[in-house]
A = this chain, B = another copy of it.
């Protein structure tokens, strides 16, 4: 098994790109990654893995591996799509990482892409609900938003010292950091009052606690670490990429507020990477809803159950704090183009570890963790990356 490095990254601005076909966004992000890597041309790529959830719903299109390889002009290569709901991007990364580590591919391209704004809102709501259990949840009208609302309600009931204001710090942090990210959808600051005075979209979740419906594409290029210096001066090592799952039907879980897929994938990743929690310099977590940000921190073992919102209020998660999170805006402010999100998280982590994050830079960042969540913490992929120079 070879060590693997990220040698090129690319992304387009997350936005409402309803005028841009999915395939065009994917090719745009991929070309940026190819340009970012030195001495790699399209013809050198021998594998493509695409992360996407909603292609059938939004573009009447399956078979995105071959489609995007074709539109990149590299048809002939190995290509397919990996799907794990909103975790599709990092799951695709995981598949490509294994291929390079095992010697099955030398230069692998991972593209996360999602187009959501070109269809009616009701179609997207149904599409996203397909991350949940169709027969036991969707059938009863439980949208994905509704399931997260139940989670927030349970959390606030259980931890009565947590206020809405505390939880509202997660979107505040996200927006604060997005200001400096030219690829972010919402580049403006908000405050706690803005969050807790925004309307409910599904009680008790308020509008400013939710990541926006958005379009985007991000790409990374993987190569064996031993060759990485040929392609970049600042290789970033993939120390771990580990997946775990939980029961899909929420009512069947033992402890819905400490999702085991988060815990297990984090523990596997730390073990594989041979690092400890204190070594993690920043954490790109999956704040599709602010409740999910809290659960990620707590189930990952970075905060005691019920304590993450209070720690957010106390400043632990700002850039400069103990564990900076959402350093370029997170899902809330960078945007959440579902199947692309996991790849955006990795792209942003790589930029941090290269020291190229500008005003978002975490000082001396050497090890970063990205955690991509499919469903209500049903599939969780935890990736640990480290400076390779």
Interface residues of A (CB under 8 A from B): 1, 21, 23, 53-57, 59-67, 69-70, 75-85, 87-88, 91, 94-95, 98-99, 101-104, 126-127, 129-135, 138, 242-249, 252, 260-261, 264, 374-375, 378-379
The 7 A-B pairs of least Cβ separation, nearest first, read A102-B102, A62-B130, A78-B243, A63-B85, A80-B84, A61-B134, A66-B245
Number of this chain's copies in the assembly equals 2
Residues on the B chain within 8 Å of A379, using CB:
63, 65-66, 79-80
Q: A63-B374, A66-B246, A80-B82 are in contact. List 9 more A-B contacts (CB 8 A).
A: A56-B127, A60-B129, A62-B130, A63-B83, A64-B83, A65-B84, A66-B248, A66-B379, A80-B91
When the two chains form their complex, are residues B243 and A79 in contact, meaning their CB atoms are under 8 A apart?
A: yes
When the two chains form their complex, are residues A66 and B98 in contact, meaning their CB atoms are under 8 A apart?
A: no
When the two chains form their complex, are residues B248 and A378 in contact, meaning their CB atoms are under 8 A apart?
A: no
Residues on the B chain within 8 Å of A56, using CB:
56-57, 127, 130
Q: How far is the CB of A134 from chain B (nearest CB, A)?
A: 4
Residues on the B chain within 8 Å of A261, using CB:
75-76
Complex: A137 Cα to B360 Cα, angstroms: 45
Q: How far is the CB of A108 from chain B (nearest CB, A)?
A: 11
Q: How far is the CB of A147 from chain B (nearest CB, A)?
A: 13
Closest to A132 in B: B63
Closest to A74 in B: B245
Select A244's contact among B59, B76, B83, beta carbons within 8 Å: B76
Q: How far is the CB of A321 from chain B (nearest CB, A)?
A: 32
Closest to A101 in B: B102
Select A264's contact among B65, B76, B102, B248, beta carbons within 8 Å: B76
Closest to A79 in B: B245
When the two chains form their complex, are residues B79 and A62 in contact, meaning their CB atoms are under 8 A apart?
A: no
Residues on the B chain within 8 Å of A245, using CB:
65-66, 69-70, 75-79
Residues on the B chain within 8 Å of A91, using CB:
65, 80
Select A60's contact among B75, B126, B246, B260, beta carbons within 8 Å: B126
Residues on the B chain within 8 Å of A70, using CB:
245-249, 252
Closest to A23 in B: B135
- Sample (11) of A-B pairs whose CB atoms are under 8 Å apart: A56-B127, A56-B130, A61-B133, A61-B134, A63-B83, A63-B84, A66-B246, A75-B248, A77-B245, A78-B244, A98-B104
Known: A57-B56, A379-B65, A379-B66. A83 touches B84 (CB 8 A): no
Complex: A167 Cα to B314 Cα, angstroms: 74
Complex: A62 Cα to B378 Cα, angstroms: 12
Residues on the B chain within 8 Å of A374, using CB:
63, 66
Complex: A104 Cα to B1 Cα, angstroms: 9
When the two chains form their complex, are residues A375 and B66 in contact, meaning their CB atoms are under 8 A apart?
A: yes
Complex: A313 Cα to B246 Cα, angstroms: 53
When the two chains form their complex, are residues B133 and A67 in contact, meaning their CB atoms are under 8 A apart?
A: yes
Residues on the B chain within 8 Å of A98, using CB:
95, 98-99, 102, 104
Residues on the B chain within 8 Å of A247, using CB:
70, 75
Residues on the B chain within 8 Å of A130, using CB:
55-56, 60-63
Residues on the B chain within 8 Å of A80, using CB:
82-84, 87-88, 91, 94-95, 243, 379
When the two chains form their complex, are residues A248 and B78 in contact, meaning their CB atoms are under 8 A apart?
A: no
Q: How far is the CB of A170 from chain B (nearest CB, A)?
A: 24
